[in-house]
Structures are given as C-alpha cells and as structure tokens.
Amino acid sequence: MPVDAPRPRVVIVGGGFGGLYCAMGLRHSSVDVTLVDRRNFHLFQPLLYQVATGGLSPANIAAPLRGILKRQKNARVWLGEVADFDVATKEVIFTDGGRLPYDILVIAAGSTHHYFGKDSEWEPIAPGLKSIEDATEIRRNVLSAFEAAEREPDPEKRKQLMTFAVVGGGPTGVEMAGAIAELAHITMRKDFRAIDPAECRVLLIEGQTRVLPMFHESLSAKAAKSLKSLGVECWLDCHVTAVTPEFVEVTFDANKETRRVATKTIVWAAGVKASGLGRKLVERLAATAEVDRGGRVSVSPDCSIPGFPECFVIGDMMSLKNAEGKPLPGVAPVAMQQGHYVADVIDRRVRGKPARAPFSYWDKGSMATIGRGRAVVEVGRLKYAGFIAWLTWLFIHILYLARFENRALVLFQWFFNYVTRNRAARLITGMPVENHPTTRG
C-alpha cells in the first residue's frame, strides 16, 4: 500500500465488551477506528444487579468511553444511535439522519430484554436488567415498596408490597433474588418500625426444572440450597402467563396448575434477544446469512457475515457453534474474545498477513453468585461452591472492572462498598414519591 493511501476506516457499533475490546485491540493497527455508542460509557453489565439493589452506584460499574480511549490516537468516540445502513455508499445512518462512512464494519450492539411476544404489555411493569436506567428503576421499585409497606395500614396490601417476583433462574435472576433477600434480611433489618423487612417474600420463577440450568446439576443444587437459606422461594418448571401491576400469574408445566401471587414488584431476568441491527444489516446487504428468532446472525467462522468479509457481527448478536457443535452463549467472555479476535483479523488483513484461523472460544468457565459469601464456579470439570467460589467471583470481577479505571481506586471503593454490606447507594432517585405506582392512591 502506498504510504499516503487513506487508512481504512473501521466503524464499531457498540461500546460494550465486544466493541470496546475490538477497538482496543486495534490500537497498533494502521486504521482509523470510530467507536459508536448511544451512551457515553462502557457498562459492566454483570454487576447491574448490585446497582439495582443499592449496593453499588452507577459510576462504580460504568466508565466513560472517552476516558478509556483517550490515549489511543487512532480511535475516536462518536455518541449516537445507529438506525440503519446504506450499504451502497457504505455508511452507517443515525436516528438523527447523520451518516458515518466505513470501510470495515463491526456490529456489537448487544442484546435487550425479551418478553416472548408480550413486550409492550409486560415491559412497563416488569423491567429487565440491561442498562443503568433499568437498574435504577428496579432499585426505585424495590425500595419504594418497603417505604409504602411501612405506611400501609391494610395487612393484605402490605403483604402485596412486601412480595417480590424475579422471573428467570439464570445467573441474573439468581443474583437479583439473592440480593433482594439480603437487602431485606440484613441491610435494612433495623431501618423500619412498622414492618419487619425480613418478613418479605422473594419468589424466583424458572421455566426449567432447576435454577442455573446451564451449570452442572450439583451446582444447581447448591445454589438452590443457598437461595433457600437466604429466604428465596424457587418455583421451577413453570412459566409466567400474566404480568400486571397487581400480580404475577404462573402456570406449572407438569400439572398445568395456575398460581397467582399479589405483588407490586416484578423483575424480568428471563430472556434476551439480540439488537435488531443484525437483522437490519443482513436485509440491507441482501445477505443469505440466517437470522434466528432471537435476532442473532449466523456468522462465518471468522465472525463475518457470509459473503461480506468487511462486515463483522460479534457478541450477543451473533450465532456461532463451538468445536463441540454447541452454540456459543451470550456471555461477556465470548464478546471480549471475539472483539480481540476480529481486531486481529482486521489487522492482519491491513498488513497483508495470512488470515487468522477460525474463532475458537476459550471457555474459562462460568460463575454465579447467590449472595454475600456464596457462589458457584464451574471451569471444565472443576466445580466448586461456597465462600471460596465467592472470593473467586469477587476477584475476577474486580480484575475486569479495574481494567478501565484507576485500579487502586476501583479496588478499594468497590471492595469497601461491597464487603461492608454498606448498600449506601440505596437512594430512591428519579421520580417524586407521589407518582410512584406503589404509593399512588
């Protein structure tokens, strides 16, 4: 390539694990990187449930993208929401009509909540946990429910206010249910006079026959035991059939029994679907790539769209099978590794080096925490639970969090906040109390 040829423009849509790691992976590449996100920060999603239960502040788990990339001279950050693609002119189109040209496109826009067809009805009542605003909304709902119960003279209404339903028994649901139970039984125990928060009811609703179904059975059993000791009730092998501001209704698959539980706080941790941008790009390209029901794009082994080597889809938005033929899960480590991988693919191409071997996911294992001091870890055939698992979980999270901030600061701040059971961030912000559903007339 002649010295003064323009450098390839790489546009990365999404500043989450996939997009950010891709941008950083290109720091020594002779390309111009533009990282686009509709938010100005990178969010460490695995810890959103901590914000949702007042254990951490948003700023503890989010880092401004500009701060992270400021020393990377070939990268810039562009705040905007991508709506469409002009594949003829090779431009990304924003919701406000603005356009951004690309030579290489990496789509890493993540996923959003999936309500199985009931999005418009259920979403306003049962927030998911994918964004900072989701987390602060859940926080507001949970804390306001206790506040309203303190003032409620009617025992039936009080019971309703002190009932919490978490839908989905994967890591997110288990973590949320455990954290709400901890908030009630430990942190806020002495804060009220008319009610005893420990008398609240926390329900965890799961469609399969065990919680954490993606983990080994023995770990599911340990998690269930920990949840029980925390005061969480697990309803298994059932699915939600109604979500209203007054109750949640569940049907058990085995005997078709239907149960209705009066509650004012429902958290949705049950399903995700990919950002619609994957399907949109495939349509615009008139590509033959399959897009599954969850919106995930089936990519080539190098994470590009079949037939369009300049377009990559990574993270929660893509569908790819691992060496054993099993589809890769929509988890952070997959996105991170694909981000780095695609950066390398692009770099080799630009340098004229031989192509990289197909993407191969290095499964370093899975973890889920059930509450302070309890977790489960599964790495290959190694499985363990309890306090050591929790320390592992804590350590890994601090390590990844600290990548983007002053390490000493994050470590200390986070460690103190979390370990001292402080939950100092349990503020009800964002909505005047008289407008809150739990305190409206």
Show which residues are catalytic.
175
- Work out how close the CB of 304 gets to a copy of itself at its nearest, in angstroms, rounded to a whole number: 27
- Work out how close the CB of 144 gets to a copy of itself at its nearest, in angstroms, rounded to a whole number: 8
- Work out how close the CB of 424 gets to a copy of itself at its nearest, in angstroms, rounded to a whole number: 6
Cα distances from 7 to residues 101, 103, 172, 315, 372, in angstroms, run 13, 9, 42, 26, 50
- Work out how close the CB of 358 gets to a copy of itself at its nearest, in angstroms, rounded to a whole number: 34
Query: For residues 143 and 250, which CB has a smaller minimum distance to a copy of itself in the complex?
Result: 143
- Work out how close the CB of 231 gets to a copy of itself at its nearest, in angstroms, rounded to a whole number: 20
Three-state SS sequence of the chain: CCCCCCCCEEEEECCCHHHHHHHHHCCCCCCEEEEEECCCEEECHHHHHHHHCCCCCHHHHEEEHHHHHCCCCCEEEEECCEEEEECCCCEEEECCCCEEECCEEEECCCEEECCCCCHHHHCCCCCCCCCHHHHHHHHHHHHHHHHHHHHCCCHHHHHHHCEEEEECCCHHHHHHHHHHHHHHHHHCCCCCCCCCHHHCEEEEECCCCCCCCCCCHHHHHHHHHHHHHHCEEEECCEEEEEECCCEEEEEECCCCCEEEEECCEEEECCCEEECCHHHHHHHHHCCCCCECCCCCEECCCCCEECCEEEEEECHHHEECECCCCCECCCCHHHHHHHHHHHHHHHHHHHHCCCCCCCCCCCCCCEEEEEECCEEEEEECCEEEEEHHHHHHHHHHHHHHHHHHCCHHHHHHHHHHHHHCCCCCCCCCCCCCHHHCCCCCC
Query: For residues 149 and 267, which CB has a smaller minimum distance to a copy of itself in the complex?
Result: 149
Query: For residues 188 and 270, which CB has a smaller minimum distance to a copy of itself in the complex?
Result: 188
Query: For residues 64 and 309, which CB has a smaller minimum distance to a copy of itself in the complex?
Result: 64
- Work out how close the CB of 142 gets to a copy of itself at its nearest, in angstroms, rounded to a whole number: 12
Query: For residues 41 and 235, which CB has a smaller minimum distance to a copy of itself in the complex?
Result: 41
Chain contacts with a copy of itself (rule: CB under 8 A): 38-41, 57-60, 62-64, 66-67, 70-71, 76-81, 94-98, 132-133, 136, 143-144, 147-148, 150-151, 188, 190-194, 405-406, 409, 412-413, 416-417, 420, 422, 424-430, 432-434, 439-441
Query: For residues 32 and 302, which CB has a smaller minimum distance to a copy of itself in the complex?
Result: 32
Query: For residues 395 and 415, which CB has a smaller minimum distance to a copy of itself in the complex?
Result: 415
- Work out how close the CB of 432 gets to a copy of itself at its nearest, in angstroms, rounded to a whole number: 6
Residue type, 202: V
**Which residues, in sequence order, are bridge partners of residue 304?**
312
